[in-house]
Amino acid sequence: MNENKAWEVDTCRGHYNNVSCVIFHARQDLILSNGEDKSIRVWDMTKRLVEFLFSKKIILIFVEWL
């Protein structure tokens, strides 16, 4: 058995290139993703839609989940 194989559980379409980072919220159905298209997206996983989109014009952003 190949233990290095990754499994795709679900797909959220939106980034135009590879996704480099994904953060899951511990208590809400939210995911934050960062892609090589220089965008940051906040996903509502109950709707499977992007709730917020930060474009490549932002140079530096800090995220704190509450």
pLDDT tens-digit profile, the chain (66 residues): 556 665 556 666 777 788 888 888 888 889 988 888 888 889 998 888 899 888 766 566 666 665
Q: Which residues, at least 6 apart from 46, have a Cβ–Cβ distance to it below 8 Å?
A: 29
Q: From CA 12, how far away is CA 60, in angstroms rounded?
A: 24
The reply to whether the predicted model has a pTM over 0.85 is no
**Contact 40/50 with Cβ under 8 angstroms?**
no
Q: From CA 58, how far away is CA 2, in angstroms rounded?
A: 40
**Contact 30/44 with Cβ under 8 angstroms?**
yes
